[in-house]
Amino acid sequence: MKILAIGMNYIQHNKELDGALYKPKEPVIFSKVDSALLKNGKPFFIPDELGSIDYEAELVVRICKLGKTIPQRFAYRYYDAVTVGIDFTARDLQRQLRAEGKPWEMSKSFDGSAVIGKWIDMKEISDIQALNFRLDINGNTVQNGYSGDMLFTVDEIIAYVSRNFTLKTGDLLYTGTPVGVGPVHINDHLTGWIEDKKVLEFNVK
């Protein structure tokens, strides 16, 4: 099982991150190791040595069959469920790595940094690109996203990444975060929603 993630896929988030509205020429791809996965409502423990840790709520899709060099028009056949996940980011370290032209993995792939919620079967979803989702912290909404605002759609991303990575059953694809990211703190309670369905709930320790 591999975890692939997309950076800079919502234009307003790109502005809050880099101070400018822009669309990358191609999807920005990074990966997380399997020990980053955190599921079943288990708590997230803030790592002491990594500085400020930001939440990034995202739609996550689950790959359901083997695929390589998948045409975009057939991409919908390769995922069977969606949920809300959190791509936790060691923000200070990420800024340092980016400034030095180094890979992001150390700031993105630490243990517990890839949280996933409960899956919603795609049979219950009429259009993956017409979903509202949100993240609440301690009962207050901090991120509101709409999948129609993605710079690269889910199907475009699958077609793109499958050129170089064979997708396998159980792989996870994090599709990017909307505007509103910020730091988490000990004792925060996070809940994630797709439309009116709560799919994610856990505590920060």
CA pair distance 30, 40, nearest whole angstrom: 24
Q: What pLDDT score does 150 carry?
A: 97
151: its two tokens: 């710079």
Q: What pLDDT score does 12 carry?
A: 84
Cα diameter, the chain: 45
Environment class of residue 66 by beta-carbon count within 10 Å: exposed (0-12), middle (13-18) or buried (19+)? exposed
Q: What pLDDT score does 72 carry?
A: 98
The secondary element (H helix, E strand) that includes residue 156 is: helix 154-161
Q: What pLDDT score does 83 carry?
A: 98
The mean pLDDT values, 10 residues at a time, for the chain of 205 residues are: 95 80 90 97 95 97 98 98 98 89 91 98 97 98 97 98 97 97 97 98 98
Q: What pLDDT score does 16 carry?
A: 79
Q: What pLDDT score does 189 carry?
A: 98
The secondary element (H helix, E strand) that includes residue 15 is: helix 11-18
Give the list of residues 6+ apart from residue 94 with CB closer than 8 angstroms, or none: 104, 107, 108
Answer yes or no: are the C-beta atoms of 84 and 194 closer than 8 Å. yes
